[in-house]
Chains A and B, each alone.
Chain A
Amino acid sequence: MTFVSAHSTPAVDTAVEHTTQAMIAVRQLRRTYPTADGGEVTALVDTDLHVSDGEFIAIVGPSGCGKSTLLRLLAGLDLPDSGRIELNGHMVSGPSRDVGVVFQNATLLPWLTIASNVSLPLRVGGKQRGPALGTEELLDMAGLGGFGAKYPNELSGGMQQRAAICRALIRQPKVLLMDEPFGALDALTRERMNAELQRIWLATGKTIVLITHSISEAVFLADRVLVMSPRPGRVIADLTVPLDRPRDFADAVGHPAFIELSHQVRKLLNEGEGK
């Protein structure tokens, strides 16, 4: 595949203080929100996270435990109260070209064609233009070849979300952050999208952080599944998925390791709820 980006930024090597291979390194992250009655709610506390270059991480956790908060912090859309986030060896202090974000609802702009939506990142965000992919190539890769001239409301939900993934990839980011990207899709479409995402990941070698409510989605896609506690959220388990790639959904769900791991994740989530 021509999309595999070579991560060669010489400046980084001299700037790196920690000689780890981490693409994302998060330490002791804390984020509180003020409440209407003058108090505050702690969304995230003592959160540590370590993601290697090219790794696929899935994060699961009960609703309201701070998953979106964590993702927004990683994306530089929000700042923590304390703790540090490093991305590719650099402190995160705002949005970066190295990060592509896929939001829960595709957030395509309805007045732009699919092709214009996908290429939007190339038209905004300043002059320091990095390497970019061709819109047509990307759409082809995502199975949307020939739909570039259509408008978002002419596409199904799954197709819209694929277009949103193309948009997140077009600047050749090193990291792809996804917040429940398939949450609004039906089970069957969702499985297909999972297979698509695995294919895109294998083709591009991106580092991916996927937030999801679906245990099977997490176990099927990820190298590691991180489980978060109820609010205030932090990572309470880090489970490695021992399945070979590429995975086939029908085969994987029957695999003993898949069943065992899903069971383990479910128990961790239930324990968290029960306390």
Chain B
Amino acid sequence: MSRIADASMNSAPQEKRRPNRKRWPGRSSLISMAGLAVVLGGWELLVHGTGIPSYVLPSIEDVVRSLADGLLVPVTDRSGYYLPLWSTLSNSAIGYFIGGFLAIVLGSLMAEFRTVEKLLMPYAFALQSLPKVAIAPLIVIWCGFGDSSKIAMAALLTFFPVLVNTFAGIQSTERGRLDLMQSLSASRLETYWNVKLPSAAPYIFAGLEMGIVYALLGTIVAEYLGAQQGIGVTIMQAEAVTDVPTVFAVLVILGAVGVAMHLGISWLKARIIRW
């Protein structure tokens, strides 16, 4: 009922505004395109107008050529971007799932049991306060130069945002819903499973959205510190021979991957949280 009332209250001012503000569906994507055009145009001007050497700022053509060199090859080609990208992404994904899962479990336990909260919360914050770049070498020392370091870094960086959000989400479960479950003599586990976890889902997804980008970052940092393969290695090798167009090309790919992962998790969120 109140929803209907709200709708009728809101509709009036909106109706008045609509004629002045012409909105069409493609508007926002048009704005992004325009922004991109300005950036690219400025870039070209800078490269060709001033005499900036190409090892400082490569031209767009060079970057596009590097992109094509790395992408227009068979997937299994050793000089292409696909193998290192696969290595990085698969390790990020594994770390992301491990870190996210542990964070949801521990965040839930912390929200449910005060003793667990008292025990773990200080360490969680202490861990988060440490610069991850400083921890990374330790992890490489402990886990070696293989995939396990990358997975561990991805998990570590995913962990905190998901943990904190899970905790906050469960704690903020509506009082009325808890009263309902209590009035039904529901057990603690039943209440958690039927009410608290679903109530916390929007929070948990907010954490997972943050975490997915961190997972990728964590993996690449680990690769920087020494790994046999991965997109971080590709960047380092390109930097070592001042192949700046390749560095740019890889950064462009990483940016695109970041956006794609974010869209993926948003899609998943929209599928799961429909209320």
Which A residues are closer than 8 A to B by beta carbons?
72, 75-77, 94-97, 99, 101, 103-105, 107, 109-111, 120-121, 123-126, 151-153, 156-158, 184-186, 189
**Which of B177, B181, B183 is the one whose CB lies under 8 Å from A99?**
B183
A121 CA / B186 CA spacing, docked (Å): 9
Which B residues are closer than 8 A to A by beta carbons?
1-5, 174, 176-177, 179-187, 190-191, 194-195, 198, 201, 273-275
Majority SS of interface residues in chain B? helix
Please state if B185 and A125 are interface contacts (CB–CB under 8 Å): yes
Least CB distance, B179 to chain A, in whole angstroms? 6
Chain A residues, CB < 8 A from B274: 111, 151
Please state if A124 and B275 are interface contacts (CB–CB under 8 Å): no
Please state if A157 and B1 are interface contacts (CB–CB under 8 Å): yes
A103 CA / B182 CA spacing, docked (Å): 13
Please state if B183 and A77 are interface contacts (CB–CB under 8 Å): yes
Chain A residues, CB < 8 A from B191: 124
Contacts A77-B179, A125-B186, A153-B275; A109 near B198 (Cβ below 8 A): yes
Cβ-closest chain B residue relative to A103: B176
Least CB distance, A95 to chain B, in whole angstroms? 5
Least CB distance, B103 to chain A, in whole angstroms? 21
Majority SS of interface residues in chain A? loop
Please state if B185 and A95 are interface contacts (CB–CB under 8 Å): yes
Least CB distance, A192 to chain B, in whole angstroms? 11
**Which of B3, B184, B190 is the one whose CB lies under 8 Å from A157?**
B3
Chain B residues, CB < 8 A from A99: 183
Please state if A157 and B2 are interface contacts (CB–CB under 8 Å): yes
Please state if A77 and B182 are interface contacts (CB–CB under 8 Å): yes
Please state if B194 and A156 are interface contacts (CB–CB under 8 Å): no
Please state if B183 and A75 are interface contacts (CB–CB under 8 Å): yes
A204 CA / B167 CA spacing, docked (Å): 43
**Which of B3, B5, B190, B273 is the one whose CB lies under 8 Å from A124?**
B190
A121 CA / B190 CA spacing, docked (Å): 11
**Which of A72, A124, A184 is the one whose CB lies under 8 Å from B187?**
A124
**Which of A120, A151, A189 is the one whose CB lies under 8 Å from B194?**
A120
Chain A residues, CB < 8 A from B186: 124-125
Least CB distance, B175 to chain A, in whole angstroms? 10
Please state if B185 and A97 are interface contacts (CB–CB under 8 Å): yes
Please state if B182 and A124 are interface contacts (CB–CB under 8 Å): no
Please state if B183 and A95 are interface contacts (CB–CB under 8 Å): yes
- With A75-B183, A124-B186 given, name 10 new contacts (CB 8 A): A101-B180, A107-B174, A110-B275, A124-B185, A124-B187, A124-B190, A126-B185, A157-B3, A184-B2, A186-B1
Contacts A111-B274, A111-B275; A103 near B179 (Cβ below 8 A): yes
Q: Which of B185, B198, B201, B273 has the most CB of A within 10 A?
A: B185
